[in-house]
Amino acid sequence: MKKIILCFLILLTTQSLVAQKIILHRNAGGDQTYQLSSVDSISFQPFVCGDEIRYEGKTYHTVLIGTQCWMKENLNVGTMIDGPSISPTGKQTNNQIIEKYCYDNDTANCSTYGGLYEWNEAMQYVTTPGARGICPEGWHIPISTEFQTLITTVGGDGNALLANRTNSSGFSLLLSGYVHIAFEELEVHSFNYSSNSSGVNATYMYVYGIPSPPTISFFSNWKWYGMSIRCLKN
């Protein structure tokens, strides 16, 4: 692993050195303070797929599948609002915050399965395929062909993607269901939005987890459905 080492030559007295501090500010919060007298060197290590990342106070694991670096968990960011939505414009309309649904309006389900997001909310109201949306900086919501590359890499085998099957790829897909006029299909199907859309419809990857092997398909439906988001490294 490439490592960059920054060494500090400090020409200070011991008394003044003790007063010096390094404060590390993290985007996700949890600043850390170190006395400079206790620091020999600082090393900056570039991200390597397989490392953990912190985003909005939560830890996400990553996995390299073929040439693609994926998050191993669905995103769970934002503030829960009650679902379902029967409005053709959706309910996630407060642009001051990121809003999410939790299956059955239970935050424990967001902790397990991730949040469910309307497409516009997930994309942060842009329509450019491959946009960052609500993903961390340096990541994006996959375009449909990137999902297709994933499927090709695992040989079209749904077992290789699902956490409750062989999960040989490490993708750890959960059958997280969706929400529209009701919360439906938990532990039966997964619905993961892509960043592709046309008019009022958006494309998503659909995995039916009951058959053996599970089936993988792509469909397009209304953008105000609440579905899962899985981020891909740029």
- Structurally, the chain folds into a number of domains equal to 2
Answer whether 203's CB lies under 8 Å from 129's CB.
Answer: no
Answer whether 81's CB lies under 8 Å from 92's CB.
Answer: yes
Share of the chain above pLDDT 90, in %: 74
Does residue 193 sit in the same domain as residue 111?
yes
For 102, list phi and psi in degrees, rounded to 5: -115, 135
Query: Which residues neighbour 88 within 8 Å (Cβ) at sequence distance 6 or greater?
Result: 200, 222, 224
Q: Are strands 189-198 and 79-80 parallel, antiparallel or unpaired?
A: unpaired
Does residue 200 sit in the same domain as residue 123?
yes
Whole domain around residue 37: which residue ranges? 4-44
Does residue 169 sit in the same domain as residue 111?
yes
Does residue 35 sit in the same domain as residue 96?
no
Q: How far apart are the first and last CA of the chain?
A: 19
Does residue 59 sit in the same domain as residue 24?
no
Does residue 38 sit in the same domain as residue 126?
no
Does residue 137 sit in the same domain as residue 223?
yes
Give the model confidence (pLDDT) of 53-66 as tens digits.
999 999 999 999 99
Does residue 139 sit in the same domain as residue 187?
yes
pTM: 0.83
Does residue 32 sit in the same domain as residue 109?
no
Give 29's Cβ-side CA count (13 Å radius): 4
Does residue 19 sit in the same domain as residue 116?
no
Q: 218 to each of 17, 82, 207, how far by Cα in Å?
A: 60, 27, 9
Does residue 14 sit in the same domain as residue 80?
no
Give the model confidence (pLDDT) of 169-217 as tens digits.
999 999 999 999 999 999 999 999 999 999 999 999 999 999 888 999 9
Taking the C-alpha atoms of residue 99 and residue 62, their distance in angstroms, rounded to an integer, is 24
Does residue 29 sit in the same domain as residue 120?
no
